[in-house]
Amino acid sequence: MLNIINASKTFQPGTPNQHTALDDLCLQLQNGEFVTVIGTNGAGKSTLFNAICGTFFLDKGAITLDETDITFLPEHKRALKIGRVFQDPMKGTAPDMTVRENLAIAYARTHRKALQTALRKQDIELFRTQLATFGMGLEDRMGTKVGLLSGGQRQAVSLLMCTIATPKLLLLDEHTAALDPAAAEKVMEITRQLVAQKKLTTLMITHNINQALQTGTRTIMMSGGKIILDIGEAERKGLTVPALLEMYAGRGASPLDTDRVLFAE
């Protein structure tokens, strides 16, 4: 499904600020896998996502998605098959446009016709029924500008925008980290619902180790631009946070020193 082969990326090479963000990284995802990604700040998690999405091109290595080589495909072309939700709720939606206009732009990738009316009747009905399944009352606010919604509501809209034209791969970049606990739980619930319903292959970055171990089917841990732990479904069962931290320490990587990682509920 997704195959990353020996991916390397160094920022500002040849300067004192040289930083190797991805170091010969390999990762394979099977169809329908839901993989959670953990690691300290600067471990390369978001860089990995940026590499997959095409925000920059790799120095070395290759990426294939569904047997197609996408290593040098521009960002917007990859977005046809890859959905991404960011940590910042502002990033995934256009604030000056209404909920249904945002959804229409995202949905248009399935039937691209430049001069066709963007909001067809059947589309609006589809948006309404999909939003209704979230149980947030968003189906009654389709004419509201997205900028007026709360962070949780915006993330829910972003999630639907990324999945309404079923993507091959869904990338979630700490998409609940900026939300209050209740909203974060709601957005996670919607995430699980959408992933299960559409059988999406998913990568999710989180700083919450408990959540990482309980969500999805597999957990990987990154450090220094490499994957240092890859825990499959069977191995993950019964694994506790302290046990994981011990495994982590055993790899001799830089200690997990951020409070956010250790004390996250």
Partner 1 sequence: MNVFTVSIQQGLLYTLLALGVYITFRILNTPDLTADGSYALGLAVSGVLSAQGHPLLGLLLAALAGVLAGCITGFLQTKAGIHPVLAGILTMFGLQSVNLFVMGAPNISLLNSPTVFSLVQKLLPGVPLPVLRMALPAVFAVVSILLLQWFFSTQLGLSIRATGSNEDMVRASSINVDAVKMVGFALGNGLVALTGALIAQYQGSADLNAGIGTVTIGLASLIIGEVICGRRGLFIGLVSALVGAVGYRLILGAALQLNVPAHAFKLLSAVIIGVALSLPALKKAYLFQKAKRGGGGHA
Q: Which residues bind partner 1 (CB under 8 A)?
A: 75-77, 79-80, 83-84, 90-97, 101-102, 104-106, 108-109, 112-119, 161-162
**Residues 173, 86: Cα–Cα separation, whole Å:** 5
Among residues 157 and 244, whose Cβ is nearest to partner 1? Answer: 157
Q: Minimum distance from CB of 18 to partner 1 (Å)?
A: 24
Q: Minimum distance from CB of 86 to partner 1 (Å)?
A: 8
CB 199 within 8 A of CB 33: no
Residues whose CB falls within 8 Å of the CB of residue 130, separated by 6 or more in sequence, listed in order: 160, 164
Among residues 21 and 104, whose Cβ is nearest to partner 1? Answer: 104
Among residues 85 and 138, whose Cβ is nearest to partner 1? Answer: 85
Q: Minimum distance from CB of 12 to partner 1 (Å)?
A: 19
**Residues 104, 39: Cα–Cα separation, whole Å:** 35
Among residues 119 and 228, whose Cβ is nearest to partner 1? Answer: 119
**Residues 13, 11: Cα–Cα separation, whole Å:** 6
- 151-163 and 181-198 helices cross at what angle (nearest 10)? 10
Among residues 55 and 254, whose Cβ is nearest to partner 1? Answer: 55
Q: Which two tokens stand for residue 251?
A: 């790899």
Q: Minimum distance from CB of 225 to partner 1 (Å)?
A: 24
Amino acid identity, position 108:
A
- 22 strand-pairing partners: 9
Among residues 81 and 128, whose Cβ is nearest to partner 1? Answer: 81
**Residues 107, 175: Cα–Cα separation, whole Å:** 21
- DSSP per-residue string spanning 161-184: HHHSS--SEEEEESTTTTS-HHHH
Q: Minimum distance from CB of 114 to partner 1 (Å)?
A: 4
Q: Which two tokens stand for residue 44?
A: 């390369």
Among residues 79 and 239, whose Cβ is nearest to partner 1? Answer: 79
- 25 strand-pairing partners: 7
What single DSSP character describes residue 109? G
Q: Minimum distance from CB of 104 to partner 1 (Å)?
A: 6
Q: Minimum distance from CB of 95 to partner 1 (Å)?
A: 6
